[in-house]
Amino acid sequence: MSEHCPLVIDIAGLALTDSDRRRLAHPLVGGLILFARNWRDRAQLTDLCREIKAVRDDLLVCVDHEGGRVQRFRTDGFTHLPPMRAFGERWMRSGRGPDGEGALSAANAATAAGYVLGAELRACGVDFSFTPVLDLDWGESGVIGDRAFHRDPRVVSVLAKSVMHGLLQAGVANCGKHFPGHGFVKADSHHEIPVDRRSLKAILADDALPYGWLNTALTSVMPAHVIYPKVDSRPAGFSAKWLHDILRGQLGFEGAVFSDDLSMAGARVIEGREVSYTEAALAALNAGCDMVLLCNQSVESEGGQAIDELMEGLTEALVKGQWQSNRASEQRRLALLPATPALSWAELMVHPHYIAALERISGEPASTRH
Query: Which residue is catalytic, options 47, 76, 188, 190?
Result: 190
Ordered strands of the 256-257 beta sheet = 176-179, 220-223, 256-257
What count of other Cβ atoms lies within 10 Å of the Cβ of residue 190? Answer: 14
Query: Which residue is catalytic, options 64, 146, 207, 260?
Result: 260
* Burial grade of 346 (CB within 10 A; 0-12, 13-18, 19 or more): exposed
* Phi, psi dihedral angles at 253 (to 5 degrees): -80, 135
Would you list the DSSP string of 93-118? ---SSSTTHHHHHHHHHHHHHHHHHH
* Phi, psi dihedral angles at 80 (to 5 degrees): -80, 100
What count of other Cβ atoms lies within 10 Å of the Cβ of residue 339? Answer: 7
Distances from the Cα of 140 to the Cαs of 66, 146, 275, in angstroms?
Answer: 20, 11, 29
Report how far residue 21's alpha carbon sits from residue 53's, in angstroms, rounded to the nearest whole number.
10
Report how far residue 82's alpha carbon sits from residue 167's, in angstroms, rounded to the nearest whole number.
16
Would you list the DSSP string of 129-180? E---B-----S--TTTGGGS--SSHHHHHHHHHHHHHHHHHTT----EEEET
Whether 260 is a known active-site residue: answer: yes
Cα dihedral sign, 116-121-123-124: positive
Q: Are 17 and 10 in contact (CB under 8 A)?
A: no
Task: Identify how many contiguous H helices and E strands the chain contains and give both numbers.
Answer: 13, 12
Residue 292 corresponds to which amino acid? V
The residues annotated as belonging to the active site are 190, 260
